[in-house]
Amino acid sequence: MKSHSCCILFFFISVTAIAQQPKNPIQRAQERAFTIATIPQSGELLTLPQAISIAVEQSYQLQINRSQEEVARNNYTRGNAGYLPTITGNVNSQGSIQTIRQTFLDALRPPQQIRGIFNRTNNFGINANYTIFNGFNRAATYEQLRQLLQISSVNTRANIEATMADVATGYYDVIRQLQRLIAFSQALDISRERLELARATFEVGTRSKVDFLSAQVDYNTDSAALVSQQQALRNAKIFLNTLLVRDPLTEFTVRDTILVRNDLQLAPLQQSLTANNPQLAAAVINRTLADINTRQVNALQLPLVTATAGYNYQRIDNQGGFGIRTGRNNGMTYNLQASIPIFNGYNLRRQIQNAKINTQIARTQESDQRLQLQSTLSQTFQTYQNSLTLVNLEAQNNQLANQNVDIAYDRYRIGNSNFVEFRDVQRNAINAQTRLIDAEFNAKAAEIELLRLSSTISQELR
């Protein structure tokens, strides 16, 4: 009887000790968990404006675009379009050293033999060629060069905006993965609290070994999930470092949170897209280039008038004794020529027909590009609105799920529920938290894409 009384007393003391634990150990685990402001990070602080500035400056593709734009700017000259004459200078010097042996038929002159006779002829000249009229082709060519410069500039701007969008999305993905890491860390702390409770209750005999082993398995599962999330965070940082054109393993710190705008409106975005989108602007320029090509082909039907003028100077030194001994000649030359195509095997007609077809193709491509961009903008805006709705819903779900975990833990602690029920509640809580994080990221990604499509990203993110 005494032994039985001791066992009852030991059990009462153990249960009392368990009951005297913190009333809400889940809150204790949550307080112990890191936040985005307190989680240890290595490396210097990297802000989004700094990341964008680095990427725009260092991007290899943008360096190529800027070089191509510089080439187009160098090509945009009146001389390259044919407005200026071409002038060439010519210098020609011919000479010989001879030995002469001569006898004469009339026998009046004695034979002669001369060694080392030097003969030389020098020609100096300058020539100018100018196209007076070529069917307005050079005006079309000059306009073509201007359009090529514009499309090169537009392509550079398009790649700058795309780079900014990629960097911003990558930066917020790092924050997302960091927030998920915090969520998994918090889940692991809760599992640790449960494991400690399961061990204590198992040791005093109030719970079975199955309950304790299940708690150990769930703790190991959450530990593995945390390790996988750490790898996901490293991968996100490597991707962002690659966009910044630096060592992929460079460590850096982020402090920002994901703040989503909720004031974007579709109508202003559509207007900005129509007026500023570089892809649409490139399609318009391509249509203009097709029109110019038609003008250039039509110019082949008109006369070609060219003029050539030159000045030549010739100097002769002849020591051979035949003909002119010395001479100096100089004078001006000119040539005016006009030609008109009459027949070339119908090739000109074929070129004109193809140019008109290409113009129509360019117009169709412009209309298609406009439609595709408007469609993408509308779809992205719908995604943006739905994501905002999901953020609000998931925020409510997250609060409810956390409260449910508190209740479930208290029920589990006092024995009113089993480990399966608590694990389901815990799993629902971590899923609700990660869904909220993903919803915020998706809303931000849609916002960034809307800014890129409307070509307002440079003003909004810098």
pLDDT in tens, 278-330: 999 999 999 999 999 999 999 999 999 999 999 998 887 776 555 566 768 88
pLDDT in tens, 389-427: 999 999 888 888 777 777 777 776 776 667 777 777 778
pLDDT of residue 5: 41
What does the alpha-carbon distance between residue 35 and residue 24 come to, in Å, rounded to a whole number? 19
What does the alpha-carbon distance between residue 59 and residue 49 come to, in Å, rounded to a whole number? 15
Alpha-helix runs per DSSP H in 20-135? 25-32, 48-58, 60-75, 78-81
In sequence order, the β-bridge partners of residue 159 are: none
Alpha-helix runs per DSSP H in 76-136? 78-81
pLDDT of residue 321: 55
CA–chain centroid gap for 197, Å, is 53
Instruction: Indicate the range of 60-74, 101-115, 268-282, 337-351 predicted with least confidence.
Output: 101-115
**What would the mean pLDDT of 7-18 be, rounded to a whole number?**
38
Dihedral, 244, 247, 253, 259 alpha carbons, nearest 10? 30
Burial (0-12, 13-18, 19+ Cβ within 10 Å), 244: buried
What does the alpha-carbon distance between residue 87 and residue 305 come to, in Å, rounded to a whole number? 17
pLDDT of residue 66: 96
Task: State whether residue 120 is helix, strand or coil.
Answer: strand
Dihedral, 290, 295, 301, 304 alpha carbons, nearest 10? -120
DSSP 233-290: HHHHHHHHHHHTTS-TT--EE------------HHHHHHHHHHH-HHHHHHHHHHHHH
Residue 281: count of CB within 10 angstroms of its CB: 20
> Does residue 347 or residue 93 have the better pLDDT?
347
Enclosing H/E stretch for 337: strand 326-339
Question: Quick check: 181 pLDDT over 80?
Answer: yes
pLDDT of residue 355: 95
Contact status, residue 89 vs residue 125, Cβ threshold 8 Å: yes
User: What rounded mean pLDDT belongs to the chain?
Assistant: 86
pLDDT of residue 460: 87
Q: Which residue segments constitute the domains of the chain, with CATH numbers given?
A: 20-84+136-301+346-461 (1.20.1600.10)
**What is the sign of the dihedral through the CA atoms of 188, 189, 190 and 193?**
positive
pLDDT of residue 12: 36
pLDDT in tens, 16-64: 433 444 445 555 555 655 665 567 778 899 999 999 999 999 999 999 9
> Does residue 26 or residue 357 have the better pLDDT?
357
Instruction: Indicate the range of 134-138, 173-177, 197-201 predicted with least confidence.
Output: 197-201
What are the b/e assignments for 350-383, b being 16+ CB within 10 Å?
Answer: ebeeebbebbeebbeebeebbeebbeebeebbeb
Contact status, residue 253 vs residue 46, Cβ threshold 8 Å: yes
Instruction: Indicate the range of 115-129, 167-181, 278-292 predicted with least confidence.
Output: 115-129
